[in-house]
Amino acid sequence: MKLMRVCRTLIIANVARFFVACVWANPYTGRHLRNSSSLIHFSGEIPMRRRSGFTLVELLVVIAIIGILVGLLLPAVQAAREAARRMQCSNNLKQLALACHNYESAHKKFPMAFAPAVAPYNRNNVNNNQESWGWGALILPFIEQGNLHAQLGVNQFSLKALIANENPNIANTVARPLLETGLSAFQCPSDSNADGQVHRQRHFGGGVGTRIAGWGNWRPGKSNYMCNRGTRDQPQRVQDTHGMFMENGAIAHGGITDGTSNTFLIGERDSMWGRGGTWAGTRNPRGAFARGIYYITANVRPKLNITDPPQGWNTSPALAAQAGFGSLHTGGALFAYADGSIHFISQNIEWRPSVAGGCRIWDVTPCEPTHGVYQRLGRRNDGFVFETPQ
In terms of DSSP H, where are the helices of 185-259? none
Mean pLDDT of the chain: 73
Q: What is the pLDDT of residue 23?
A: 41
pLDDT > 50? residue 322:
yes
Q: What residues does each domain of the chain span?
A: 81-377
Note the helical H segments in the chain. 2-24, 36-39, 56-107, 135-138, 146-152, 159-163, 172-179, 316-323, 373-377
Taking 3-state DSSP, the helix, strand and coil percentages for the chain, each rounded to the nearest 5, stand at 40, 10, 50
When pLDDT is cut at 50, 70 and 90, the band that residue 226 belongs to is very high
Higher pLDDT, 56 or 135: 135
pLDDT at 334: 96
What would the pLDDT profile of 12-70 be if each residue is shown by its tens digit?
444 444 444 444 444 444 444 444 444 444 445 555 555 566 688 778 888 888 888 88
pLDDT above 80: residue 151: yes
* Predicted confidence (pLDDT) at residue 164 exceeds the cutoff of 70: yes
Can you tell me the distance from the alpha carbon of 316 to that of 302, in angstroms, rounded to the nearest whole number? 11
Residue 340 burial (CB < 10 Å; 0-12/13-18/19+)? middle
Q: Band of the pLDDT at 383, cuts 50, 70, 90?
A: confident
pLDDT at 389: 55
The top-scoring range by mean pLDDT among 48-52, 149-153, 359-363 is 149-153
Whether the model clears a pTM of 0.75, i.e. scores above it, the answer is: no
Ranking 100-104, 129-133, 326-330, 368-372 by mean pLDDT, the lowest is: 368-372
Q: Which of 171-175, 230-234, 362-366 tops mean pLDDT?
A: 171-175
Compare 58 and 274 and report the one with higher pLDDT.
58
Q: Over range 167-183, report the average pLDDT.
A: 82
| Most confident option among 93-107, 166-180, 258-272 | 93-107
Quick check: 306 and 327 in contact, CB under 8 A?
Answer: no
Alpha-carbon gap, residue 230 to 47, rounded angstroms: 88
Measured distance CA(370)–CA(224) in Å, rounded: 28
Judged by DSSP in three states, 260 sits in helix
- Ranked by mean pLDDT, the top range of 10-19, 117-126, 317-326 is 317-326
Looking at mean pLDDT, say which of 78-82, 168-172, 270-274, 290-294 comes out highest: 78-82
CB 197 within 8 A of CB 215: no
Q: Output the CA angle 377-378-379, nearest 5 degrees.
A: 90
110 has a pLDDT exceeding 70: yes
* pLDDT for the residue 15: 40
Q: What percent of the chain has pLDDT over 90?
A: 19
pLDDT (0 to 100) of residue 180: 84
- Nearest Cα neighbor of 158 from 115, 211, 189, 201 is 115
Q: How far is 284 from 130, CA to CA, in rounded Å?
A: 6
Q: What is the pLDDT of residue 20?
A: 43
Measure the CA–CA gap between 159 and 352, rounded to whole angstroms: 38
Is residue 390 very low, low, confident or very high in pLDDT (cuts 50, 70, 90)? low
* Segment among 190-204, 255-269, 373-387 with least mean pLDDT: 190-204
More confident residue, 329 or 17: 329
3-class DSSP state of 19:
helix
